[in-house]
């Protein structure tokens, strides 16, 4: 089965694993196909920042999904470390509120300018795809992300068409992607990749790929549905 190269560029594989051997094998098997991996709480807690150095040394872009939610000083200084680690993007909870997010954006941009670093994309988490959520609430959070100048939001494919229409400049990153015959796991607001890619800039997929016997076959299956 052939894979569409443009879709591969829009697929971020979530390395939610704690076995290094397995993680390395998935990265190796997908090398040459996938250029972005997501490191979340599981892999970051298990392997520490070295996992980012390792992926970057192999030429991959790293999306660091630690979903920051704390006081401005803590979040801003953590984000500066992310920039020094040269992550491609990271997540913050939009629940942090307008003033803290505005300050984060401003301080990180100025830090990156001074230190000649590429500013990582700041992506705001709307509502987790594992929960039911009201469209109204997600749009309210997307509006906040747009107002404070974040580069994008994490939202399910159910809200993505509305966010795309109202806030065309915001990047949309969509988890909760499942082929029709695959179990939902703990995800609730799910869709196929082809539906999500009509609206989202990127899709994030973990278990349907990392638990597949052959991860590349998992990638092909996801992108064919």
Min dist CB 224 to ligand C5P, Å, is 16
As annotated, the active-site residues are 67
| Residue 114 or 183 with smaller CB distance to ligand C5P | 183
| Residue 117 or 188 with smaller CB distance to ligand C5P | 188
Closest CA to 39 of 93, 85, 97: 85
Closest CA to 85 of 49, 58, 112: 49
Min dist CB 7 to ligand C5P, Å, is 16
Q: Among all residues, whose Cβ is closest to ligand C5P?
A: 206
Q: Report in angstroms the alpha-carbon separations of 16 from 21, 69, 99, 210, 211.
A: 13, 20, 32, 8, 10
Q: Residues interacting with ligand C5P, by CB under 6 A?
A: 14, 16, 40, 65, 125, 128-129, 154, 175-176, 185, 187, 204-207
**Terminal CA-to-CA distance of the chain, rounded, Å?**
12
| Residue 164 or 207 with smaller CB distance to ligand C5P | 207
Residue 90: other Cβ atoms inside 10 A: 23
Min dist CB 207 to ligand C5P, Å, is 3
67 and 90 Cβ atoms separated by less than 8 Å: no
| Residue 12 or 109 with smaller CB distance to ligand C5P | 12
Name the DSSP letter for residue 210: H
Min dist CB 74 to ligand C5P, Å, is 20
| Separation CA 133–CA 27 (nearest Å) | 33
């Amino acid at each position: 089965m052939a894979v569409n190269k443009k879709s591969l560029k829009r697929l971020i594989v979530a390395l939610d694993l704690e076995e290094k051997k397995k993680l390395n094998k998935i990265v190796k098997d997908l090398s040459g196909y996938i250029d972005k991996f997501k490191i979340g709480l599981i892999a970051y807690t298990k392997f520490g920042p070295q996992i980012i150095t390792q992926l970057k040394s192999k030429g991959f872009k790293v999306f660091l999904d630690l979903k920051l939610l704390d006081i401005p000083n803590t979040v801003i200084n953590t984000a500066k470390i992310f920039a020094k680690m040269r992550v491609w993007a990271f997540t913050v909870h939009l629940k942090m509120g307008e003033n803290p997010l505005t300050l984060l954006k401003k301080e990180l941009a100025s830090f990156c300018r001074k230190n000649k670093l590429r500013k990582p994309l700041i992506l705001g988490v709307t509502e987790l795809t594992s929960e039911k959520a009201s469209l109204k609430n997600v749009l309210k959070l997307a509006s906040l992300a747009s107002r404070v100048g974040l580069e994008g939001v994490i939202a399910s494919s159910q809200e993505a068409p509305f966010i795309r229409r109202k806030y065309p400049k915001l990047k949309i990153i969509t988890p909760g992607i499942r082929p029709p015959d695959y179990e939902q796991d703990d995800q609730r607001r799910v869709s196929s990749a082809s539906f999500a890619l009509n609206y989202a800039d990127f899709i994030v997929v973990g278990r349907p790929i990392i638990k597949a016997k052959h991860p590349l076959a998992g990638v092909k299956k996801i992108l064919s549905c």
